[in-house]
Structure 1
């Protein structure tokens, strides 16, 4: 293979290597995984808070239930005393009657509080169920995303190794002085070649004289663009 073709192939593989490295960097720095991991953490924190609230309401419901039982027991005792005929003192009967009314009001108030607490518990349990389902879905998405980026990273690293191997082989076949000039062009211009397309240098968009294009078509001499200094190449088999 002529030196020009070797250099052209080197240019192609250098560009491919840079492209794969850029894609790998993007994959490693993607915000997708961080965003979904943040969603998992926030959802888990919300679940902890909901479970904590649920525990508090359940504890309060249990306490109110004990209080209600005590009120009902006291109420039953008072009503027994009121209706069994053993107490005939009017003042005492009046006192017990008032205590009964107070207890009934307390029973009623406690029952209303318990109904409110049970509604809160029901709402929290619904929210918990929905959030747990949501968390499972988010975790599935997170797992899929991690698997995808892991596979992508492995694929890109393989491509980078392949390109590196090809480049190393090409470097050993190219004249050192020519190779140094090529490296200087890539460093200063971003790429070493100006591909001829419609008689125009792709590097600087200047029109290349027809005789130079014909010369490039017919031999493999190293010709530099007079405007940008890049190596000119006429690709007989363009992509």
Structure 2
């Protein structure tokens, strides 16, 4: 983990407001908690052209990476696959020299590694907390996407922890549902087990249910289930 100051552009998730004619910033509270947890101090560049010289060659290297590895845009089936591709690209860069430098990127990093701070034992929790109400279909709406919970919680408020990867639903402190995070507006993810209580009274509706359709598509409703 970098020690001391880390230089940043005025990225929107971190900076809510640039205080006029100063280096001060009104920060997003979660960002403040993040850099305090990891023990470094952000140094913000001047906005616009005034701060272009403060970013060194960073923007140029971003353009280099985009042209060489992200053009055309990689076609992947999941975020995990994209992250694996990026890791491969970065490994190729280890042997490159930037400009006329004597050492490769990997050699420069090896020289700097000893100055880094150790990471805390527990990672910082980046998720946000929301309290949606379960609708009459056993669904909650979070960021324009819908997720199922057990039907016994219909018309009750639940607590949701939302991260970039997943969504966890709690009733009090008890976890009642977990989903991968959806990114497409209007998308739905239904878990068949959440509807089994309702299917006891309406077994004929099972075959035509969206929850069963998704379970088959995901492979969680197997041939053994079909036979049963």
Q: TM-score, length-normalised on structure 2?
A: 0.19
The structure that has the greater radius of gyration is 1
Which one has more relative contact order, counting CA pairs under 8 Å at least 6 apart? 1
Q: Say which structure is richer in helix.
A: 1
